[in-house]
Every structure is written in structure tokens, then in C-alpha cells.
Amino acid sequence: QVQLLESGGGLVQPGGSLRLSCAASGIGFRFNAMGWYRQAPGKERELVARISSAGSTNYLDSVKGRFTISRDNAKNTVYLQMNSLKPEDTAVYYCNVNRGIEYWGQGTQVTVSS
């Protein structure tokens, strides 16, 4: 059974930082690309960052230079380091793996507000 468990969300002031974690189980983690998506109220879910099994990364244009995705295959965990946060980054953030079937975590709320 595939399980993705996110943590690390919260309330932060503009310019602040957060690190999200996603612990995966039930998959051969190191063989899978992993992604972080987000969904703001009234908006569609969008891909924020993805990391391949080999470690190559790609990012949503609006987060380039501020967010960093990384993975620790020994811990079956993918991270999203978010710096210089802006109010428009406010959303529920979801961890994702696509193995022919999409699997999602439960989401973690990130709120950027003064």
C-alpha cells in the first residue's frame, strides 16, 4: 500500500522559510520521481517541483531560485525547502508519485501572511 505523509507546513511571515517533508512507504522510493504540488483556494492544482530518481529537478517558474526540492533515498523522504516565501505561495502542498496511478499525500497547509 502506497502512503505519502507530508509534514512541515504552517504559518510564516513574508520573507520567511519552511521545509516540507514527505515520507513515502509502499514504493521502491529510489526508483521513482517525486513531486510537490500545491493548490490555492479557487485555483487548480499545480506542479511546484519535481525530482527524478537520478536527482534532476525542475521547478515552477514562480518558485525558481526560492524553492529547492531534494531527496534522501535512505530515509524514503523528499523535501521542499521554501525560502523568501510570498503571500501568493499560500496553498495546500501535496506530495505526489506517479506509478501509472497517481498517489497523493493528505496535504499540508502553508500560509504566508503578516
What digits encode the pLDDT tens for the residues 13-25? 999 999 999 999 9
**pLDDT in the model for residue 99:** 87
Question: What grid cell was written down for 81?
Answer: 525547502
Confidence of residue 28 (pLDDT cuts 50, 70, 90): confident
Q: Would you say residue 27 has pLDDT above 90?
A: no
Mean per-residue pLDDT, 52-64: 97
End-to-end CA distance of the chain: 40
Instruction: Measure Cα distances from 109 to 18, 26, 76, 90, 101 in Å.
Output: 11, 24, 22, 8, 24
**pLDDT in the model for residue 69:** 98
**pLDDT in the model for residue 16:** 98
% of the chain residues with pLDDT over 90:
91
Q: How many CB atoms lie within 10 A of CB 32?
A: 19
Question: What grid cell was written down for 1?
Answer: 500500500
The Cα 93–Cα 18 span in angstroms is: 12
Q: Would you say residue 92 has pLDDT above 90?
A: yes
